[in-house]
Structure 1
Amino acid sequence: MRALLCIFFCTVLFEAVAQEQQPKYIEDKYSYFIALNLGNALGSYRTVLKEGNKAGTKFGLTGGVLFNPYGRKKASPVFYGAEVGFQGDGREDPITTYSGDFRVSNTSYWINGLTRYRPILWSSKINPYMDAFFGAKIIQTLLVEQLNEEDSETLERWTKVTPNYGLGVGVGIKLFGNMKNSYLDIGVYYQQAEATKIVKPNTVEIDTNFEYKSKQVLTTTNQWVVKVGITGFN
């Protein structure tokens, strides 16, 4: 994180020095973004995933909207808004002797309040930013039976909700043509979640009475997240 902060502030300094004339400020009313995300588990969470024969990485999607608190009356370096996102780590098979098409899926969802700081307010080629967020993370494991090609039934649903919060830094690279009001964003985030009991991977079982069991472990779900996406301004 220290290295990322150094890159962030060096970029800000470079862009400020590079301006040879008074910049024209962009009085944006709001911005919106969508990004692919890659999570890399940390600490006890990574241990739990590895013990369950998981790689410790998850893929997903994030999107959100941020608003200028002054509308278009004046430019603001700070925007406020919200984001939603999810991550999944693929399918696994339950432990069972029953014939049938069963599957287990583990998915995390979150909804956060988000604050973004953009120190460069003009339409620079390189536009760094810093995010802070706080909200709720939903961790869900589903046991599903596929009845036929079109129909499926959820046999069991294990759901936990926990607070999550964190920080991130990134940089936007200005696009051109029809997307001249947009940036290609690359960011790195630290996402921390309070400890809660989750279903350990590859422990879901359908026993001889056709009842559903799982082993649950207490862990945080902290992770580094890399996001690559598009931010547009209006």
Structure 2
Amino acid sequence: MRVILCLIFCTSLLKAVAQEQQPKYIEDKLSYFVALNLGNAVGNYRNILKESNKAGTKFGLTGGILFNPYGRKKASTVFYGAELGFQGDGRGDVKTTYSGDFRVTNTSYWINGLVRYRPILWSSKINPYIDAFAGPKIIQTSLIEQLNDEDSETLERWTKVTPNYGLGVGVGFKLFGSLQNSYLDIGIYYQQAEATKIIRPNSVEIDNNFEYKSKQVLTTTNQWVVKIGITGFN
């Protein structure tokens, strides 16, 4: 009888210890993120930018939300969702004989479907991930006149839309305190875009009739992107 009671006690103790040692799963109904982008052009796109001394690092922001397909019913290594992003692609000069403060701005936007794979389901100190994304990329060049210190006017806007897609890998470092369900993420991505005609840097001109002219060039806008941001789980 004592042996049986001892076995029951030991079994209960082992179960309790096992439960305490089980990893704590991330609260994984959904996750959300915001990140700083640092983009660097590659290939023909980089060569075009280098001709005008515009080939430096471009800065932007990305934010998105990802959903566990099972809700909280089951932990999942794969999340699905979407991201919105933009990147300032620098300013250009304007060729004109008119007096005034004119400038050209270049900006890219994208709206991507996103799939994220996280092989570690529990709340680990280091949490790697792989992303795949695809969607439309909007490339916009604007001719702007600065009227005074506070006011400006957009004189012309050239807009192109092209598909973009790519892959990225990264790692998250677990935060603490009030951010204990969040990670500091650092990732590197390759963003591929289909070839399209964009405004060649420093080619915008205002002629003697105050009409706007520009030269276009056919190129992809491929780039490597480093992302540094915060991912939270809920």
Q: Same fold (TM over 0.5)?
A: yes
Distance 1:57 1:216 in 2: 22
Provide, for residues 17-47 of structure 1, a one-character-per-residue CA deviation record: whole Å limited to 9, x for no partner.
xxxx542323411000000011110101001
Instruction: Name 1:215's counterpart in structure 2.
Output: 215
Instruction: Name 2:91's counterpart in structure 1.
Output: 91
Report the TM-score when normalising by structure 2: 0.89
Distance 1:26 1:91 in 2: 43
Q: Report the secondary structure of 2:46's partner residue.
A: helix
Q: Report the secondary structure of 2:162's partner residue.
A: strand
Instruction: Name 1:111's counterpart in structure 2.
Output: 111
Shift of 1:155: 0.6
Shift of 1:53: 2.0
Percent identity among equivalent residues? 86
Distance 2:89 2:166 in 1: 21
1:1-234 matches, cutoff 5 A: 21-234=21-234
Q: Report the secondary structure of 1:70's partner residue.
A: coil
Instruction: Name 1:16's counterpart in structure 2.
Output: none
Aligned alpha-carbon RMSD (Å): 1.3
The letter of the residue matching 1:119 is P
| Structure 2: gaps of 5 or more residues | 1-20
Provide, for residues 45-64 of structure 1, a one-character-per-residue CA deviation record: whole Å limited to 9, x for no partner.
00111112212421100100
User: In 2, are the aligned partners of 1:116 and 1:129 still within 8 Å (CA)?
Assistant: yes
**Aligned residue pairs: how many?**
215
The letter of the residue matching 2:62 is T
Instruction: Name 1:18's counterpart in structure 2.
Output: none
Q: Larger Rg: 1 or 2?
A: 2
Larger CA deviation: 162-171 vs 92-101? 92-101
Q: Report the secondary structure of 2:95's partner residue.
A: coil
User: In 2, are the aligned partners of 1:66 and 1:79 still within 8 Å (CA)?
Assistant: yes
Q: Report the secondary structure of 1:90's partner residue.
A: strand
Shift of 1:93: 2.5
| Structure 1: gaps of 5 or more residues | 1-20
Distance 1:106 1:158 in 2: 10
User: In 2, are the aligned partners of 1:62 and 1:84 still within 8 Å (CA)?
Assistant: yes
Distance 1:86 1:178 in 2: 29
The letter of the residue matching 2:138 is I
The letter of the residue matching 2:167 is L
User: In 2, are the aligned partners of 1:189 and 1:226 still within 8 Å (CA)?
Assistant: yes
Shift of 1:157: 0.4
